[in-house]
Amino acid sequence: MANLPVISLKEVALHDSMSDCWIVICNYIYDVTNFMLQHPGGEFVLLDQAGRDATFAFFDAGHTLSSTTSLQKYKIGILPPSECLFNNPSTLLCT
């Protein structure tokens, strides 16, 4: 996934429903639509963060490095540098 498309927060914001759910974690965009019903915390936890940056909610919920690793199959893009909240996301366990 070295050549991820750059996706703006404005585009991410359009994907905020049960049938189309994107979230941002550590500057990366994830399409978690197909994971919502499998999420251990319930689909509404994801829906609450749909269409926006969920980094702080993700780590506040106690997710670990293994959680970020399992997200990789849902990664669809990266924010443009001007919209990134984290200059060094590796300090947040994001890989």
Whether pLDDT at 2 is above 70: no
Instruction: Quote the CA–CA distance of 24 and 51 in Å, as a whole number.
Output: 8
Neighbours of 47 (CB within 10 A): 17
* In a domain? residue 48: yes
| Residue that wins the pLDDT comparison between 93 and 76 | 76
* In a domain? residue 22: yes
* In a domain? residue 90: no
DSSP state of 5: P
Q: What is the pLDDT of residue 63?
A: 67
Q: Is-contact 54 23, C-beta < 8 A?
A: yes
Express each pLDDT in 36-77 by its tens digit: 887 767 778 889 999 999 988 888 776 666 667 778 899 999
Q: What is the pLDDT of residue 52?
A: 96
Q: What is the pLDDT of residue 1?
A: 45
Number of folded domains that form the chain: 1
* In a domain? residue 69: yes
Q: What is the pLDDT of residue 29?
A: 96
Which CATH number characterizes residue 15's domain?
Answer: 3.10.120.10
* In a domain? residue 2: no
Q: Which domain holds residue 41?
A: 9-84
